[in-house]
Amino acid sequence: MAMVIDCHGHFTTAPKTLHAWRRKQLDTMNDPANAPHKTDLIITDDEIRAAVEAGQLKLQKERGGDLTLFSPIAGQMAHHLGNEQTSLVWAEVCNDLIHRVCHLFPYNFVGVCQLPQSPGAPPAHCIPELRRCVEELGFVGCNLNPDPSGGYWQDPPLTDRVWYPLYEEMVRLDVPAMVHVSSSCNPCFHGTGAHYINGDTTAFMQLLLADLFKDFPTLRFVIPHGGGAVPYHWGRYRGLSLETRQRPLEPLLDNVFFDTCVYHEPGIRFLTQVIPAANILFGSEMIGAVKGRDPNTGEYFDDTKRYLDACSHLSTEERHKIFEANTRRVYPRLDMLLKRRARVEATISV
């Protein structure tokens, strides 16, 4: 049966005790004796159920979704705060919490992990946590922050060799990364209104300029928020690729995908007319950047499935790609999980 898989959801409704723990962690950054231990964070299963059932799960059902790739709150990754150790413990705490959500609602949520990045720290240091999340917790992808400095862009581009060990591990595990910045501590950049979109645009242009996918032919990136500014400026990027690299842009689409977090119907229609259906993954980032309803329609801005449903130019096959097949292809561990489940269910029903 056809599924509707949302490739982009964060646990934005996490219980407040999580945020209190984080505050204490940051407050005691230079005072290890008083630092909170991971076990100091007490969140009951009932609290998790309440947070999800009143939030993402409710909306998932109301909107006709089946499953969401679920990761820690992007804006709270805040890799620029604290040091490498701070980021590691915080990533473990957040990923463990996602694991519990997925364990409680295995049919509705599958995990995507936060990485313990830190400004200036080698991305290779993220490998153990990535491995733990994928091999022990059953996660199917990761979120990769192209700017751990939080809006000052002081780490090397994503195509720098400093990232290669992490990419090698992603390839080995066969997991993609969603390229997703965190909050901005730069007063020039509003988080969800500027830094997020700029991060997407910036990452794409870095990929355009380099030969990363010659070195990693099976590495895959999802650029969220509809690809930032990229589809709107597709002609600019086609021209820049021809001019700066003497090659067409299109082969980049073997490795780069866009989600559908574009919060109005004309934008989604445009995206699906300019970018091949094979490169578009349904996503809503609900509950996230824009929580309200459009006063003109009474509907939620981030109900992106509604916009896709209204795109009459999409064929049944293209819809199937966008809502299910592409995400299963880009996240093969999700596909394996779903196939395994289908086999188990077939056995039970026999």
Cα separation of 236 and 238, whole Å? 6
Instruction: Select from 161-169, 211-219, 288-296, 310-318 the region that touches its own copies (CB under 8 A).
Output: 288-296
Footprint of its own copies on 158-217 (CB under 8 A): 186-190, 192-194, 197-198, 201-202, 205-206, 208-209
Pick the closer one to its own copies by CB: 6 or 302: 302
* Near its own copies by CB under 8 A: residue from 9, 116, 123, 146: 146
Cα separation of 1 and 334, whole Å? 16
DSSP, residue by residue, 291-332: -SB-TTTSSBTT-HHHHHHT-TTS-HHHHHIIIIIHHHHHSH
Interaction between residue 223 and its own copies (CB under 8 A): no
C-alpha dist (Å) from residue 90 to 171, 173, 270 = 25, 23, 38
x/- map, 238-267, its own copies, by CB under 8 A: xxx-xx----x-------------xxxxxx
Cα separation of 41 and 47, whole Å? 12
Residue indicated by tokens 């945020």:
19
Q: H or E stretch including 179? A: strand 177-179
Q: Kindly report the backbone phi and psi dihedral angles of residue 89, in degrees, each rounded to the nearest multiple of 5, phi listed first.
A: -65, -40
Interaction between residue 155 and its own copies (CB under 8 A): yes
Tokens of residue 294, six digits: 């459009």
Known catalytic membership, residue 285:
yes
Interaction between residue 122 and its own copies (CB under 8 A): no
Interaction between residue 108 and its own copies (CB under 8 A): no
Pick the closer one to its own copies by CB: 202 or 255: 202
Contacts with its own copies by CB under 8 A lie at 146-147, 151-153, 155-157, 186-190, 192-194, 197-198, 201-202, 205-206, 208-209, 225-226, 228-229, 231-240, 242-243, 248, 262-267, 270, 273-274, 289-292, 294-295, 301-302
